[in-house]
Amino acid sequence: MLSFFRRALSSWVTLGLLGLVMLAFIITGVTPGPTGSGGGDGSWVARVGGEPVTVAEVSRNAERALEAERAQRPGITMPEFLRAGALEEIIRQMVTGEALESFGEEQGLVASKRMVDGEIASLPAFRGLNGRFDENIYRQALASQNVSEQELRDSIAGSIVQRMLLQPAGAGTRAPVGVARQYAALLLETREGFIGVVPTRAVAAGPAPTAAELQAYYGRDRARYTTPERRVIRYALIDPARVPAPPQPIEAEIQAAYNNNPAYRPSETRTLAQAVFPTQAAANAAAAAARGGRSLAEAANSQGSELVPVEGAQTREVFARFASPEVAATAFAAPQGGIAGPARSPFGFHLVQVTGVQRTGGRPLAAVRGEIVDALLAERRRTALSDYVRGVEDLVGEGATFDEVVRARNLPVQQTPAVTEAGVAPDQPSFRAPPGLAPVLRAGFQLGADDDPAVETVAADSAYALIDVAQVIEAAPPPLQAIRAQVVADFTTERAARQAGRIAQQIAERASRGLALPQAFAQAGVALPRPQPVSGRRADLARLGDQVPPPLLLLFNVAQGRARAQAAPDGAGWFVVQASRITPGNVQSSPGVVEATRAQFARIAGDELAEQFARAAEGAVGVERDAGAVARLKEELSGGQQPGR
């Protein structure tokens, strides 16, 4: 599966499910691209407990997931993304998440506001330079991703309910010691052998293919040579140079901006510790004891509560959201070292100890005048540019063509060569799409050949583009004669690879009959590189994960004294592997491996139980899927390029 999903879902037990791809965007900082229509007619791909998972929702999440994947693989297209199974994975996650939330609601599970607040405050994406939750960064992140606070809170609340269900389901699993010992011994197993290579280039090229052979080869594999759909896209950039310089702000505007910016005013934060009591009587008793000379921690303990430090320095506004306005007012009225309260919140009666007070004196107008003027001018430039763009959009909405708009607005026109969605121009190999052109290409491939021109954002608040599709060249293979040299080279290479495979299989058969691999290579009748000795432990392979070289992996899948041949993944030839000696692992020499294996089994078993619980929740609430709607959505998202093939 693609890297986005590997990052998003590493464990059912520890992470639950990806409730909304939107949450991942806020955390990673990836800006979603424009979303397609995605079936805005309200049709659905699944129903969970009678509630629809709509085509529009899935389409938005697919677009967002593709943008996240492009952060790792910039050239990936939507058809490639869908061929990797991304759409099915997104739908599976959304269906399972909805089923778990519905099942949890039936059982009375609720994510409280305080729990959601805690999750938000703990997200690294919302922390400032001091490592603490920053309200301004939080608001800016939501705005930059075009996500409302309620969307985020609903997503987090759903994830919390999912964890409430999944974590207990997967907790407490244990593997029998006997089973773990057997697998631990396997991890400690050591193997020795040989690895040899039969390169394709070592095999004679053979005669040139006949015209009939070449035509048959080309006809059998035309898809291999098919050039993807290409488009010639015309565009006109709209940037601040299109609008006149704004007038300088007057003094009243500067003063108003200064007065309205809390960053310029004096501020106060407090370091606090609090104890919460279920009754006012208990809080009053603890307060009396603390003011009588006992520490607040001792006084709270005597009434069955505990003094807990509040994480981070708090402003009055932030503390009010986590406790209540009454508690915050009381805490910020007390002197440093004082004890405030009791004051009431939805959680009980609070006593708050003020352990520190930090005040900043603010910044005078004279010190910040320059930055205020710059900010006001920048805002005026953004507004003027926005008004200009709106005027262009109005012309398009009134039916003006691309040529009519650029003439009316005197916009300079640029044009791409015939490019693929990834920005490659097969007819101009030297063409390299500049990084800023990616939004233009993306929008150009979402427009139909007969659609009206469209205005798209190139850089937020600073650059836009009027885009028009000048030509659409359908995906098709070029004539054989145009690429004859390439087809001849591919034919010859494939024929040599088949011959290399036959030689490798013959070598493997001789080695499996008792001949050492170096001797079997010497008898091949072809000049080949000499096989190299190799040895290793199975545990070393486990540490390499997905990076294990295929020949080394094959060494640990061959019986002692036997040999096997396998094609190299890059098509450059074949390798032959012989396992000459297998030494069983001794767990007595590494007792820690047994416990580590048990722990790994416990995690795997926990994840399996959690997944089975999720499947059971789907069965309990009822899930209905529409395979036809999924197929139609996949075709729509891929632009008709049949991603499933």
Which residue did the predictor score with more confidence, 37 or 607? 607
pLDDT of residue 2: 46
Using an 8 Å Cβ cutoff, are 166 and 93 in contact? no
The percent of residues above 90 in pLDDT, for the chain, comes to: 23
Structure tokens at 110: 């609720």
Q: Which of 419, 566, 146 is nearest to 553 (CA)?
A: 566
Cα gap 268→313, rounded to integer Å: 9
Higher local confidence (pLDDT), 362 or 291: 291
Residue that is written with structure tokens 């080869």 in the block: 217
Residue-level length of the chain: 645
Least confident of 143-147, 245-249, 501-505, 626-630: 143-147
Of all residues in the chain, what percent carry a pLDDT higher than 70? 91
pLDDT for 533 beyond 80: yes
- Of 456, 458, 411, 410, the closest CA to residue 434 belongs to 458
pLDDT at 11 over 80: no
pLDDT tens for residues 278-328?
Answer: 888 999 999 998 888 888 888 888 888 888 888 778 888 888 887 888 988
pLDDT at residue 20 tops 80: no
Q: Is the dihedral of CA 589, 591, 594, 597 positive or negative?
A: negative
CB 470, CB 402: distance < 8 Å = no
Residue 16 has pLDDT above 70, yes or no: no
As a whole number, mean pLDDT of residues 205-231 equals 88
Q: Which helix (H) or strand (E) holds 360?
A: strand 348-360
pLDDT: is 388 or 171 the higher one? 388
pTM given for the model: 0.47
Identify the residue with better confidence: 517 or 427.
Answer: 517
pLDDT over threshold 60, residue 12: no
> Residue 120's pLDDT is what?
85
Those residues whose C-beta lies under 8 Å from the C-beta of residue 296, and which sit 6 or more positions away, are 273, 275, 286, 290, 307, 339, 351, 353
Mean pLDDT of 130-157: 78
Is residue 501 pLDDT above 90, yes or no? yes
Nearest to 499 by CA among 522, 519, 530, 528: 528
Give the residue with greater pLDDT, 14 vs 296.
296
How crowded is residue 486: how many other Cβ atoms within 10 Å of its Cβ? 11
Cβ contact 503:526 at 8 Å: yes
Among 124-128, 284-288, 640-644, name the one with the lowest average pLDDT. Answer: 640-644
Q: CB neighbours of 86 closer than 8 A, spacing ≥ 6?
A: 1, 2, 4, 5, 62, 65, 66, 69
Mean pLDDT for all residues in the chain: 83
Give Cβ neighbours of residue 220 (< 8 Å, ≥ 6 apart). Answer: none
Peptide bond into 342 cis (omega under 30): yes
User: Which residues, including other chains, have CB under 8 Å from residue 633's CB and lie 6 or more apart?
Assistant: 38, 39, 45, 55, 58, 59, 87
For residue 404, give the nearest of 559, 413, 633 by alpha carbon.
413
The count of other CB atoms within 10 Å of the CB of residue 543 is: 9
Burial 118-134 (b: 16+ CB within 10 A, else e): ebbbebeebbeeeeebb
Beta-strand ranges (E) seen in 245-316 are 267-277, 308-309
Q: What is the pLDDT of residues 543-586, one digit of tens each?
A: 777 788 889 889 999 999 999 999 988 778 999 999 999 998 88
Query: Residue 179 phi/psi, 5° resolution?
Result: -65, -45
What pLDDT, on a 0 to 100 scale, did the predictor assign at position 4? 45
CA distance linking residue 531 with residue 575, whole number of Å: 9
What confidence score (pLDDT) does residue 145 get?
67
Query: From CA 439, how far away is CA 459, in angstroms rounded?
Result: 9
User: Does position 10 have pLDDT exceeding 50, yes or no?
Assistant: no
More confident residue, 584 or 127: 584
**285's tokens:** 């008793």
**pLDDT value at 360 more than 90:** no
Higher-confidence residue of 449 and 46: namely 46
pLDDT at residue number 278: 86
